[in-house]
Amino acid sequence: MQGVEARLRRVRRGRLARPVQRRPNILVIFVEGLDRRFLGRTVRGIRVTPFLDRLRGESVYFEHFFSNGASTFHGLFASFCSALPRFSRLSPTRTHYGSDFLCLPEALKRGGYRSEMVIGQSRERGQSHLGLFMARNGLDALHDEGTFAPKTPRNRLGVLDSALFDLVRSRVETLHAADRPFFLATLTTSTHHPFAVPPDHPEVRALREQSDSYVTALRYLDIEFERFFSGLRRDGLLRNTVVLILGDHGRHLRIGRTGRTDAEAMVGNFLAPLFVWMDASLVDPTIFRPRTVSLVASQVDLPPTILSMTGLMPALTPFVGRDLSCAFVRDCLADNIAYLSNDGENLLGLVDRDGIWMYPVRAQTGREIDLGVTGASRERAVTDPQAAPRQQRLLSLYVTGNLLLVRNRLWSTREFWDPGDGITAPSRPTP
């Protein structure tokens, strides 16, 4: 147990070929329930995500990226704090909103960043305490459903993506005008069940005739995101900016077969993609070039990667994740893993370069699934010599991740942060 905990606390980083010349702005787009299996699809002769498909060609795209949890607030906790989600329906934002963690907004703030988030729902949806948690851990401002005018178009979850992106643009304009770098995150709503979106666009109307309303909502999201992103780029508002696009989790509703042992049913909640796009003012072929990356990665890898890009990676952190920036230019980190946790389905998972191991908690068997989730899964006993090492590693992560949260033993900023520790100016060293 002590050995596993020590490994979780150790800084594990890739190496960016050269740091960026100046600290970039960071824009993070969490797309509700974005499932990478639906990217590049054509339904009834209509491309579902043509803009995201084109943007992939301009980005570093992680094709084996996973959400660590199966719900929004578990995903946000992993993405902001690089810590394993608790195996519980109650996320740490709800149970530990008064605790200090070393999360991304706080680490960036100490490097001069202003950090904000825009969401289209209430900050207290499901008693998540997201506002309290984020304020405690470094966020300067959280703009939620109450920020929008009363007559703003809404769906069951909150404000529609059209209005959400308009507010995000407004915040980008304001933050760009200030003389300091910024971190801005947002979370969309329209690809959440029941997928109610306005039929204003002809292709959205056409897709309403088919049976899967998620596809219709995804087409709407792609249209609104293209309008938002293209407008920012046209008006110079993405200058000196890195944009990350990912799902807070994969699609909740099962597709295909619905059997308990079906591979897609077991893994689908975690199949979120990751795009990393960098403005031309930052691009240097020695540090970034558009490519598809095959290494295994997950949400906990975001904080160390972003902090590496900004030159603010502390020398010592409690982060579980690893710095992925080396993958922007070359193959690396072949030994990286992803931990998966879904209390609602009583499932744990471990992903490595050899595939996916899914384990129904307290069962005597698990399922091996290929990384692409394309073939049939294979059942193995947890004591099988070919499965046992994965099972032991999975359970070690499960026990450690939950125990650290339950006992509130994750290192906090106040406990170990030296204000001068690891804060390095993003300079260009001599090759």
pLDDT at 33 over 80: yes
Please give the pLDDT value at position 430.
29
pLDDT at 249 over 90: yes
Whole-prediction pTM value?
0.90
Q: Give which of 211, 218, 216 is closest to 247, Cα–Cα.
A: 218
Helix (H, G, I), strand (E, B) or coil at 80: helix
pLDDT at 424 over 50: no
Which of the residue ranges 178-182, 301-305, 375-379 would you say has the lowest mean pLDDT?
375-379
Q: Which two tokens stand for residue 85?
A: 């989600």
Q: Give which of 368, 349, 320 is closest to 69, Cα–Cα.
A: 349
Which of the residue ranges 61-70, 75-84, 410-419 would you say has the lowest mean pLDDT?
410-419
Percentage of the residues of the chain whose pLDDT score is greater than 70: 88
Give the count of beta carbons closer than 10 Å to the beta carbon of residue 431.
6
pLDDT tens track for 412-423: 766 656 555 545
- Higher-scoring residue by pLDDT: 76, 405: 76
Q: Which two tokens stand for residue 423?
A: 């804060």
Q: Give which of 88, 58, 57 is closest to 74, Cα–Cα.
A: 88
pLDDT tens track for 49-61: 999 999 999 999 9
Separation between Cα atoms, residue 390 and residue 400, nearest integer Å: 15
Separation between Cα atoms, residue 376 and residue 374, nearest integer Å: 7
Residues β-bridged to residue 60:
276, 291
Please give the pLDDT value at position 329.
96
Separation between Cα atoms, residue 370 and residue 296, nearest integer Å: 12
Separation between Cα atoms, residue 382 and residue 87, nearest integer Å: 20
What value does the mean pLDDT take over residues 331-341? 97
Please give the pLDDT value at position 418.
58
Separation between Cα atoms, residue 313 and residue 323, nearest integer Å: 9
What value does the mean pLDDT of the chain take?
88
Rounded alpha-carbon distances, angstroms, from residue 315 to 50, 311, 424: 41, 11, 10
pLDDT tens track for 218-232: 999 999 999 999 999
Please give the pLDDT value at position 5.
38
Which of the residue ranges 20-24, 268-272, 350-354, 396-400 would you say has the lowest mean pLDDT?
20-24
Peptide bond into 194 cis (omega under 30): yes
What value does the mean pLDDT take over residues 88-94? 85
pLDDT at 7 over 70: no
Please give the pLDDT value at position 419.
52
Query: Counting Cβ atoms within 10 Å, is residue 51 exposed (0-12), middle (13-18) or buried (19+)?
Result: middle
Are 242 and 309 a contacting pair, CB within 8 Å? yes
Are 305 and 326 a contacting pair, CB within 8 Å? no
What value does the mean pLDDT take over residues 190-214? 94
